[in-house]
A = this chain, B = another copy of it.
Amino acid sequence: MARTLPDPFTADSNLECREIGDGNLNLVFHITDQNSDKSIIIKQALPYAKVVGESWPLSLVRARIEREILQEEYRLCPGMVPEVYHYDDDLALTVMEDLSDHVIMRKGLIEGTSYPLFAQHIGEFMARTLFFTSDLGMNQQLKKEKQGRFINPDQCKITEDLIFDEPYRIAEKNNYEASIEDEAEALRTDGELHLEVALLREKFLTHGEALLHGDLHTGSIFVTPESTKVIDPEFAYYGPMGFDIGAVIANLLLNYASLPGSIKDSQALQEREAMLLDMVRDVWTEFESRFRALWVNDLVDPMAKAPGYQDHYVQKVFRDTAGFAGAKMVRRIVGLAHVADIDTIEDATERERAQRTALAIGKALIKSNRRLNTIGELLDTVSTAVSALKS
């Protein structure tokens, strides 16, 4: 079908098609014209999860949602998501810009690449997409209509179960090594933790603040040192802003936790660790400064000018960010879907150490989220959790 598209190919194109993996839920094809340098991506949603099979059916509505969100994000942040060239909602299929000159950020981080512009880029992306789809930045009536178009019950249910439920009980889909059974057991019996997870779950289920990407981990971000492109918004829905920001921070911290398992030189390790923690700090501060600037310049809700409200709002988003970051770290260690940063550590002892580090940070962020006020305090919480583990 690529040949029938108006762009970028012609009748003379010599097309080559290659299936490229993209996780659990979709087929992705990379199509190049051997007679030119032109190429496209075709992504088609599957009606079931590859990891489980046809016994886990999935609605194809997510393909329409992903395509519309890409178009919306492109409008708000041109150049930060792939351009949509063509789509067919009946086939659950989208034809989009090929980003083969970028790499998946998780892979880049694992390989030790640095992305000095990433925090600015993702801060800009999150500030603009979250602000302009919220009641702060758009007409409230139109926002409700948009919320209705992106209600996404199937995808949300996956997130609800995998992040905010199964890691805290015995569940078939949980997935962890026997060596950390003590940690898994502790997660199931920690009442203080359960209360905080229940509160975060409630926010995820009920707080329709902004149109989230919904799955903004480093596997959903294509990068080069100069460019950042966000992909795969099929989990998009109206939820709490901190869920997206927390996803970015959680995945930087998961990479941070993996570093001792992959860098042997202690000086190099220290530098890379400091760089990751700086990225965490910068992601928040770049987001916050841009979000506050949009509030000053593009606010459409007159009541939001109430004295103190902006600070109150930013504090809420920050605390949610911390809590969601923690929940996302925990689930990547004991839940169904892991991260390559940690799973690819070959040495079992080092891998286990990384898993325990990630869990310690995750639990500390979950437990402290409602008390944290600054990104400095969040980073202190991280280092305290890591130190406690070493002692």
Give A residues with C-beta under 8 Å from B: 135, 140-145, 147-148, 151-154, 156-157, 160, 164-165, 168-169, 191, 194-195, 197-199, 201-202, 205-209, 301-309, 312-313
Whole-angstrom distance between the alpha carbons of A142 and B143 in the complex?
22
Whole-angstrom distance between the alpha carbons of A199 and B143 in the complex?
18
Given contacts A141-B157, A156-B140, A199-B312, contact A303 B194 (CB under 8 A): yes
Cβ-closest chain B residue relative to A164? B303
Given A165-B302, A195-B307, 20 further pairs, Cβ under 8 A: A135-B202, A135-B206, A140-B160, A141-B154, A141-B156, A141-B157, A144-B152, A144-B153, A148-B148, A148-B151, A165-B303, A168-B303, A191-B307, A194-B303, A194-B309, A195-B306, A195-B308, A195-B309, A195-B312, A199-B312
Secondary structure type dominating chain A contacts: helix
Whole-angstrom distance between the alpha carbons of A309 and B313 in the complex?
23
Contacts of A145 in B (CB 8 A): 151, 153
Is B140 a contact partner of A151 (Cβ separation < 8 A)? no
> Which listed residue, B143, B144, B153, B201, touches A303 by the CB 8 Å rule?
B201
Contacts of A147 in B (CB 8 A): 151
Is B306 a contact partner of A198 (Cβ separation < 8 A)? yes
> Which listed residue, B198, B207, B309, touches A199 by the CB 8 Å rule?
B309
Whole-angstrom distance between the alpha carbons of A205 and B147 in the complex?
11
> Which listed residue, B197, B209, B303, touches A306 by the CB 8 Å rule?
B197
Contacts of A198 in B (CB 8 A): 303-304, 306, 309
Min Cβ gap A174→B in Å is 14
Is A142 a contact partner of B135 (Cβ separation < 8 A)? no
Given contacts A142-B153, A191-B307, contact A206 B205 (CB under 8 A): no
Whole-angstrom distance between the alpha carbons of A303 and B193 in the complex?
11
Is A191 a contact partner of B144 (Cβ separation < 8 A)? no
Cβ-closest chain B residue relative to A309? B198
Contacts of A313 in B (CB 8 A): 202
Whole-angstrom distance between the alpha carbons of A142 and B160 in the complex?
13
10 nearest A-B residue pairs (beta carbon): A194-B306, A144-B153, A148-B151, A141-B157, A198-B306, A191-B307, A195-B306, A141-B153, A198-B309, A198-B303
Min Cβ gap A261→B in Å is 32
Contacts of A154 in B (CB 8 A): 141
Given contacts A144-B152, A207-B206, contact A307 B135 (CB under 8 A): no
Cβ-closest chain B residue relative to A201? B303
Whole-angstrom distance between the alpha carbons of A307 and B194 in the complex?
7
Is A144 a contact partner of B165 (Cβ separation < 8 A)? no
Interface CB pairs A-B, < 8 A, 23: A135-B206, A141-B153, A141-B154, A141-B157, A143-B205, A148-B148, A151-B151, A164-B303, A165-B302, A194-B305, A194-B306, A194-B307, A195-B306, A195-B308, A197-B303, A198-B303, A198-B304, A199-B309, A201-B301, A202-B313, A206-B208, A207-B208, A208-B208
Min Cβ gap A305→B in Å is 8
Is B144 a contact partner of A156 (Cβ separation < 8 A)? yes
Q: Which of A144, A145, A206 has the most CB of B within 10 A?
A: A206
